[in-house]
Structure 1
Amino acid sequence: MTTISRQPFQLVAPDGAVVADDDDHPIDPDAARNYYRAMTLARAVDDEATFLQRRGELGLWLRSLGQEAAQIGSISALRASDYVFPSYREHAAALARGLSPGQILAQWRGVAHSGWNPADHNFHIYTLVLAAQLLHATGYAMGIQRDRAADVVLAYFGDGASSEGDAAEAFNIAAVNAAPVLFFCQNNAWAISTPNDKQFASPVHVRAQAYGLWSAAVDGNDVFAVRAVTERALRHIRSGGGPALVEALTYRRAGHSTADDPSRYRPDGEVSEQASRDPIDRVEALLRQRDWADETFFVTAAADARNAAASTREQCLALPEPSLAAYFDHVLADADPDVLRERAQSLRRHPVAVS
């Protein structure tokens, strides 16, 4: 069992300066440009989804604002065959896995239980029950292990979920069975209105060591550092070293959800201070300092972001409304007399709803 450091690992500072070198994952212009584009597009989709919710087109939305580097850095380290269990705000990771904005929004518009087939992207449906996906991921990883496959499972969760009993059970079961699973904690400082210092006395990655997990802390707003640490964790797992945990220290810049008012429990100064550590601004500063991108690149990236926002809006409004009959089709795996009777009664009362 090892840990990189109790201090978060960092390669690029908030002002864009390179503070350390990493031989396994060098900081190069192509990677920087690709990360910038991926994070910018993800934020544009996130922004537009927020506007759509405010206009009444979505029932709820949980923003990923400020957490783009943690997601893009980690998801980009995986193989296509690796399987991902998200929580509910991994929009940047979902887009990177090839999901469309419309697929991501379907659940939040209330027209589908999930907008995609997990097998198509090796990306599971969003899980709203805190930490439940950690047990799902552990079980799935144990199945991979018994199939003698070389794949790894990555499970995203937040600092609040780390306080759930399901998290403790998942860490322990994974460690005992040496399951090939990477637990990736996006510690965004707040579990709704509860700050870290009211949640736990020991950091998540330190607690993970007590269960027998390899663990590391990383600057979650440094996409290069996140990629490097995630790759180290994956090498440990693939070599048969057992499960690992990465704690990416980042910040939730918006509310817990669009139903939350964060101004009631955290000071404005804290938010503005964290905004100065913006992950996208960090990569832009690096690109400009190194002359790795000209103005044409940034103008094009901005135009692509606007197009992504427009596409998000179009895809959301084009999502088909399910028929009333469809709500009864998947209640149970096999036809049930009571469900069929209720279906018939409902359709008689609301014949217009039949498609």
Structure 2
Amino acid sequence: MTSSPVSPDVDGSKAAIRREKRPSKFSETWKGYKKCRYLFLLLTPVLLWYVVFAYGPLYGIQLAFKDFKMIDGVWSSPWVGVKHFEFLFFQSPDFFKILRNTIIISFYHIIFGFPAPIVLALLINEIRLPKFKKITQSLTYLPHFFSWVILSGILITLLSPSTGVVNYLIQLAGLEPIYFVGDPNYFRFTLVTSGIWKEVGWGTIIYLAALAGISPDLYEAAVMDGANRWKQTLHITLPSILPVIVLLFILRLGSVLDAGFDQVLNLYSPATYEVADILDTYVYRVGLQNFQFSLTTAVGLFKNVVAFCLVLFTNFISKKLGQEGLF
């Protein structure tokens, strides 16, 4: 005896019931939030920090399109459109020189400063004595915790052409003293090397953490295949930490117009303005000292737009090359 076929209406009603019983994406997401509500409670101070200090100041972006007057306030100041951008790009005699200095110094930091923590992390990772390894890490981290106000004083003293230790050694070699901080020909070199000295140890933390996550089995298999330490580094270590390197490179390239305000401000002088004046020092000098807030807000907005575009571009390229990006 054959069973009678089920009518289409019955099938449709069953499917409709199943659709009704299936929870929506919103309810599933809300259940996930409720389940992790205490973790989100711990996250609240961080979110508040971002709201107050990261998103709150976005209110001031409108100053770039206004002729700001303190008496009138932000809202009542008259709109001037892109007047300040036109002045920067077409009328300012200093903007492109300052932009060039910023890009050159920043690229020097990227070319020479970005690989430095990677190399140092690889060298520290090769140290076999635990105590010596900890001492090396502590000594390389130490300069990061000093401000550029302190470090600039130390550098000026060490590099002084008359009383500095460095120039004393140069004179012992029979050479003329070098004005590292006051000579435009040596200022960028001093800027980059001192920046590496300050931050190279701190930058190794992430790379050492990535190195610690590499499976020892890979190295044991490489040793059985006859690979020496250099080949192990080349074929195991570097490929294993490559995603971290790409991620940090994307973030670093996004701040290509940040050439180090604190460092430059404490080291440069009128004698080195030609090669040392950057966008941040220009904003400080013109905006805070000359009270041209609208003009310097336009400079800041220009910097942020360029940084945003660079992050998107490098993230796109990294994904095309098969690496993981930021998103």
If the length of structure 2 is used for normalisation, what is the TM-score? 0.22
- The structure with the largest helix share of the pair is 2
Higher-RCO chain (CA-CA 8 Å, sequence separation at least 6)? 1
If the length of structure 1 is used for normalisation, what is the TM-score? 0.20
- The structure with the largest strand share of the pair is 1
